[in-house]
DNA sequence: ATGTCATCTTAGAGATGA
């Protein structure tokens, strides 16, 4: 069984790349982020034609998350208590419980959005209190947090920045402490499995990226392979994120 | 490392966010 997460940076703009990618990669379940698409405007028909049921949450202009599943979608949830933005979609897909997250960016450490980011992550973690960590579950998406210094191209360039602060890392660590494992993925190039590269300044071609798209899974999810699909970041009109693809058994 | 990209407003360049 194959699962994947991909911040597509607008599903409308990316559909011409998403559809062939789904055909070639053939994941059973995909978590999408930054669809930038109202739930009612989601391209259900093109993904249904490939055998996927879709659960979409969307504000319209910003944010937006979705789950595509060939294994069914039951118990859908598309909000996080007290946080109205469309940044979470959750459902049971066959035997696996799946959550797609688009964690707030934070902007800068002195911005109210940074506090909002920490609160959002804490609320996500608190929601797991009523969940059994023995059950097969994945929480995957754009966490906007680089868990370790090796997850950015140069930690010195991030002095004073978001994505690398102890508080953000502690918020992700709390999820791991609950019972999730940050699945290590093979890099597409170089030593680091970066999943995001800024569009500007040739960052992608210099492999100056960040690992901020994470697949967190409970231990009953057995992993046979995991990789960053760097090919999907190449070529014409890519997203600024690459998909992370994970092959699993339950 | 602020050099790009996507979207919306409101009809074409600017604001916003990443």
Residue A186 sits in a domain whose CATH number is 3.60.10.10
pLDDT in tens, A36-60: 999 999 999 999 999 999 999 998 8
Whether residue A18 contacts residue A27, with contact meaning beta carbons closer than 8 Å, is answered with no
Whether residue A68 contacts residue A42, with contact meaning beta carbons closer than 8 Å, is answered with no
Domain count, chain A: 1
> What pLDDT was estimated at residue A21?
98
Distance in angstroms: CA A243, C1' B11: 37
> What pLDDT was estimated at residue A137?
98
State the nucleotide closest to A239 in CA–C1' terms: B5
Q: Is the CB of A45 under 7 A from strand B?
A: no
The residue lying closest to nucleotide B2, measuring its CA against C1', is: A200
The protein footprint on chain B, as nucleotides within 7 A of a CB, is 1-8, 17-18
Phi-psi region of A54 (alpha: psi -120 to 50; beta: other; left: phi over 0): beta
> What pLDDT was estimated at residue A10?
98
Write down which residues 87-116 in A have CB closer than 7 A to strand B: 104-105, 107, 113
Rounded to 10°, the helix A166-178/A112-126 angle is 10
Q: Is the CB of A16 under 7 A from strand B?
A: no
Q: Write out the H or E segment, with its range, that includes residue A22.
A: helix A11-25
Closest alpha carbon to A88 in A67, A73, A108, A102 = A102
Closest alpha carbon to A214 in A3, A5, A63 = A5
Distance in angstroms: CA A129, C1' B18: 32
State the nucleotide closest to A240 in CA–C1' terms: B5
> What pLDDT was estimated at residue A31?
98
> What pLDDT was estimated at residue A194?
98
250 residues of chain A, pLDDT tens digit each: 999 999 999 999 999 999 999 999 999 999 999 999 999 999 999 999 999 999 999 988 999 999 999 999 999 999 999 999 999 999 999 999 999 999 999 999 999 999 999 999 999 999 999 999 999 999 999 999 999 999 999 999 999 999 999 999 999 999 999 999 999 999 998 999 999 999 999 999 999 999 999 999 999 999 999 999 999 999 999 999 999 999 999 9
> What pLDDT was estimated at residue A59?
86
Q: List, in order, residues 6 or more apart from A130 with CB less than 8 Å away.
A: none
Q: List, in order, residues 6 or more apart from A85 with CB less than 8 Å away.
A: A59, A62, A63, A104
Enclosing domain of residue A26:
2-249
Could you give the count of Cα atoms lying within 13 Å of A148 in the half-sphere of its Cβ? 6
The model carries a pTM of 0.98
């Amino acid at each position: 069984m194959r699962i994947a997460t991909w911040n597509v940076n607008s599903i409308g703009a990316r559909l011409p790349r998403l559809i062939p990618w789904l055909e070639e990669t053939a994941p059973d379940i995909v978590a999408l982020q930054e669809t930038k698409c109202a739930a009612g405007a989601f391209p259900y028909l093109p993904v249904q034609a490939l055998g996927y049921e879709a659960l979409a949450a969307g504000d319209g202009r910003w944010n937006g998350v979705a789950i595509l599943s060939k294994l069914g979608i039951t118990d859908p949830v598309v909000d996080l208590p007290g946080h109205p933005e469309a940044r979470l979609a959750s459902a049971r897909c066959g035997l696996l419980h799946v959550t797609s997250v688009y964690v707030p960016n934070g902007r800068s450490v002195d911005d109210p959005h940074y506090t909002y980011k920490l609160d959002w992550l804490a609320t996500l973690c608190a929601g797991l209190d009523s969940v059994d960590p023995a059950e097969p579950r994945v929480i995957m998406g754009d966490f906007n947090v680089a868990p370790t210094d090796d997850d950015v191209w140069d930690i010195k360039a991030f002095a004073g920045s978001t994505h690398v602060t102890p508080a953000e890392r502690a918020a992700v660590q709390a999820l791991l402490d609950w019972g999730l494992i940050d699945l290590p993925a093979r890099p597409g190039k170089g030593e680091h499995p970066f999943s995001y590269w800024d569009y500007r300044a040739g960052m992608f071609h210099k492999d100056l990226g960040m690992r901020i798209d994470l697949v967190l899974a409970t231990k009953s999810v057995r992993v046979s392979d995991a990789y960053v699909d760097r090919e999907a970041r190449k070529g014409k009109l890519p997203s600024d994120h690459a998909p992370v693809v994970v092959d699993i058994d339950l």
